[in-house]
Amino acid sequence: MPRRLRADLHIHTVLSPCADLEMSPVHVVSQARSLGLDLIAVTDHNSAENVRAVIEAGSREGLIVLPGMEVNTREEVHILCLFDRPSDAEELQELVFSRLPPGENDANYFGYQVICDSFDEIVGFNPKLLIQAADISLGELVAKVKALGGMAIAAHIDRPAFGLLGQLGFVPQGLELSALEVSKMGSIPAMRKAQPHLAPYPLISSSDAHFLEDIGSNPLDLLVEEADIEGIEQALWGLWNSNHERTFPSRSRYR
């Protein structure tokens, strides 16, 4: 039986230097549950070091948590990379860490990059400058995410900084993006009208929350067979097809 999920696929934690220090695993999960969300994705900048803690905190509260990262590519484009298993996110993290330019985070300037356990105990700080662009191209990143069975979504495509359209002005052909995210500043109907070349892609919204009060501010209602990457991807493409009576090639697992 298909089930309805209220989802927010783009949430930062205290590991992101720009996120509020209240964005701890327990707080994020309890805020999401209190707002009636069923599923969230953890997408810190260039790191997945808090995904296991949020997954564990979520499992205690009946919240499904997808492990993910928001990778900053060589083109200075932000891509949400979502997975079923933390180990897949961590494999991508290894690659991204190996491609980050040298440089240490200045916590006083950029903010702290806190690694927590699932009870909000601090277990360490990531010393790298996580907000930098990794030396990985869009094409290589998306192919790697697909090879790991994940889903790549271009984040806040309409934002002038770090958005796909803002940076490149177009969606490169052959890039296997599962969806494009429109920022809180934009609207999906307006984007559809203004950018007809985006027709092949589902457009989604999410909160890109850096503060607790932002969580769930742009929820996504999905009808899924399974609450996993394949189920969500099918729901996104199904939603797009039924709204627009267009037929796209069926999507199947890329593993």
- Interface residues with Zn ion (CB under 5 A) are 70, 78, 155, 208
**Residue closer to Zn ion, measured from CB, 54 or 155:** 155
**Residue closer to Zn ion, measured from CB, 55 or 155:** 155
**Residue closer to Zn ion, measured from CB, 41 or 155:** 155
Q: How far is CA 146 from the centre of its chain?
A: 14
CB of 80 closer than 8 Å to CB of 43: yes
CA-CA distance, 226 to 91, in Å (whole number)?
24
**Residue closer to Zn ion, measured from CB, 42 or 232:** 42
Closest contact distance (angstroms) between CB of 119 and Zn ion is 25
**DSSP for residue 172:** -
Residue linked to tokens 């609450």: 227
Q: Record the tokens describing residue 74, joined without a space.
A: 């060589």
Closest contact distance (angstroms) between CB of 223 and Zn ion is 26
Closest contact distance (angstroms) between CB of 18 and Zn ion is 8
In the complex, residue closest to Zn ion by CB: 78
CA-CA distance, 6 to 216, in Å (whole number)?
9
Virtual torsion, Cα 10, 202, 155, 76, nearest 10 deg = 160
**Residue closer to Zn ion, measured from CB, 8 or 208:** 208
Closest contact distance (angstroms) between CB of 96 and Zn ion is 14
CA-CA distance, 61 to 65, in Å (whole number)?
11
Report the amino acid identity of residue 2: P
Closest contact distance (angstroms) between CB of 76 and Zn ion is 10
Q: Which of 221, 157, 165 is nearest to 185 (CA)?
A: 157
